[in-house]
Amino acid sequence: MILPVILSGGSGSRLWPVSREHYPKQFLNLNQDDVSLLQETALRAQGLASSEAPLIVCNEEHRFLIAEQMQALGFKQSRILLEPCGRNTAPALALAALLASEQNPDADLLVMPADHVIQDNQAFADAIEKGLELSHQGQLVTFGITPSSAHTGYGYIKRGQALLQGFAVEAFVEKPSQQIAQQYLESGDYVWNSGIFLCKAERFLQALAQHAPDILESCQAAFQTRTQDMDFLRIDEAVFGQCRSESIDYAVMEHTRQAAVVPMSPGWSDIGAWDALHALRGEKDPEHHNAVRGDVLLRDTRNSLVYSESRLVATLGVSDLVVVETDDAVLVAHRDHAQDTKQIVSALKEAGRPECQLHRTVYRPWGHYRSMEITESFQVKEIVVKPGAALSLQMHHHRAEHWVVVEGTAKVTQGETPGIDAALRSFLLSEDQSTYIPLGTVHRLENPGVIALKLIEVQTGSYLGEDDIVRFDDKYGRDQEP
């Protein structure tokens, strides 16, 4: 039985401004217009023979996004393991292996990043079948991508002697220079390191005990603290935080003698930067080699990626550019500098600007809101609440709010005294009706209807930050997080 383990970490900073810390690339529809990269990964795993529903390891911030995207695929109850803090892939897989060893000790763990593209699912499935033979022989299997170019952005694996349907791993190699990458390509002995693994849960734990016992001990102690919260399995932050951060490669694969690699050519890409997306989509325009998305008009443009989310973007007489537009930021870069976009993100962080973390549209378990206009003294938002969903019972110290219902029905709860039910009153608002929430007033917004509730919120006050929320009750188990 295959247990897919999807690792959903990272911020995808090289794909800014579309990918941001609170809504990174695995949640975006970068390859297909109707499903995200995370959903593609889950569907790919579901297509394998003898595959269980996936176990997803992610951080607290993204838990509701993942649950919603899995539900959209038909997974009624998702298995989501929450890392309270990032500690790289080895501790993440250790937690998954500990859970699997309790529930299904004989399971083969298929470990996949959530943000990769694979265009040939049959070639991927064939490679997994080859890897299963090695896994059942006690090997720790990784999958190498047969290189199509002398790429310097990937790590490489040197294959050794033949083993069943694969090869022993002779060495893991860091990202090489252009000259060395060309030598690797010409030798035929090297493959790109895909970051995809397959092994028995118990076998990985044994290898971890041998090569990184401190990581195993920390993860075992943290795993003992686990608690169940809806679809989420929570781990204590204080205990897990003591574990050192390490990748699977560094912790185990580079040290074990039981590492095997299966080469494959499934049309793989990690979409690590905008030039990778250009390569993925540029094939659709063999004459000019342009890749486009959204409302785009090109004239005398070549070898460029032009990506629009909210308005018309036109280019004229340019080549070798990356142009990416969102509703609050525009990136223009030469394709040769596509890997350096994270420098922009670092500069935004240093300046304390929110564009490195948040989009104008922010997703919450109850729905989403979009910031339409913001100044020092007022902010206008569009708020969309899913049917049956409710915001927390809350109050604000620094702002008042005026709500105007645009579509659907709103149930509004209001009161002046926190925690005293008798002091709270509820009433319904329909389209074109409004209400005012004074500063310091306890309130809750709910959608009792069967269609989405849409309203316009106008905030006024001396401070409009999302951390000005005091919660008294929340159906989603949130405390003081926004």
CATH of the domain at 210: 3.90.550.10
Single residue among 299, 314, 346 that ends a domain in this structure: 346
pLDDT tens digit string along 191-241? 999 999 999 999 999 999 999 999 999 999 999 999 998 879 999 999 999
Residue 148 has pLDDT above 80, yes or no: yes
The verdict on residue 355 lying in a domain is no
pLDDT given at position 11: 79
> CB of 351 within 8 A of CB of 334?
no
The verdict on residue 354 lying in a domain is no
Is the domain of 335 the same as that of 367?
A: no
Is the domain of 258 the same as that of 331?
A: no
Q: What band does 416 get if pLDDT is binned at 50, 70 and 90?
A: confident
Is the domain of 199 the same as that of 239?
A: yes
The verdict on residue 429 lying in a domain is yes
Is the domain of 368 the same as that of 342?
A: no
Residues in contact with 66: Cβ distance below 8 Å, sequence separation at least 6, in sequence order: 8, 38, 56, 58, 78, 80
pLDDT given at position 419: 52
Q: Residue 78 burial by CB count (10 A; 0-12/13-18/19+): exposed, middle or buried? A: buried
Q: What band does 477 get if pLDDT is binned at 50, 70 and 90?
A: confident
DSSP secondary structure letter of residue 254:
T
Is the domain of 36 the same as that of 185?
A: yes
Is the domain of 302 the same as that of 381?
A: no
pLDDT given at position 254: 95
**Pairwise CA distance, residues 82 & 229, whole Å:** 10
Is the domain of 258 the same as that of 311?
A: no
Q: Residue 385 burial by CB count (10 A; 0-12/13-18/19+): exposed, middle or buried? A: buried
Q: Provide the sign of the torsion angle of the four alpha carbons 280, 286, 292, 293, taken in this order.
A: negative
The verdict on residue 356 lying in a domain is no
Residues in contact with 474: Cβ distance below 8 Å, sequence separation at least 6, in sequence order: 392, 393
Is the domain of 255 the same as that of 282?
A: no
Q: What share of the chain is helix, strand, coil (3-state, %, to 5)?
A: 30, 35, 35
The verdict on residue 187 lying in a domain is yes
Single residue among 269, 291, 313 that ends a domain in this structure: 269
pLDDT tens digit string along 332-356? 999 999 989 999 999 999 999 999 9
What is the token pair recorded at 435? 């209400």
Count of structural domains, the chain: 3
pLDDT given at position 200: 96
pLDDT tens digit string along 298-331? 999 999 999 999 999 999 999 999 999 999 999 9
**Pairwise CA distance, residues 32 & 301, whole Å:** 24
Give the mean model confidence (pLDDT) for residues 117-130.
96
Single residue among 220, 254, 269 that ends a domain in this structure: 269
Q: What CATH number is attached to the domain comprising 371?
A: 2.60.120.10
pLDDT given at position 12: 84
pLDDT given at position 219: 97
Is the domain of 188 the same as that of 127?
A: yes
The verdict on residue 481 lying in a domain is no
> CB of 97 within 8 A of CB of 205?
yes
Is the domain of 157 the same as that of 227?
A: yes
The verdict on residue 389 lying in a domain is yes
The verdict on residue 400 lying in a domain is yes
Is the domain of 48 the same as that of 180?
A: yes
Domain that holds residue 33: 2-269
Is the domain of 188 the same as that of 224?
A: yes
| Mean pLDDT estimate for the chain | 93
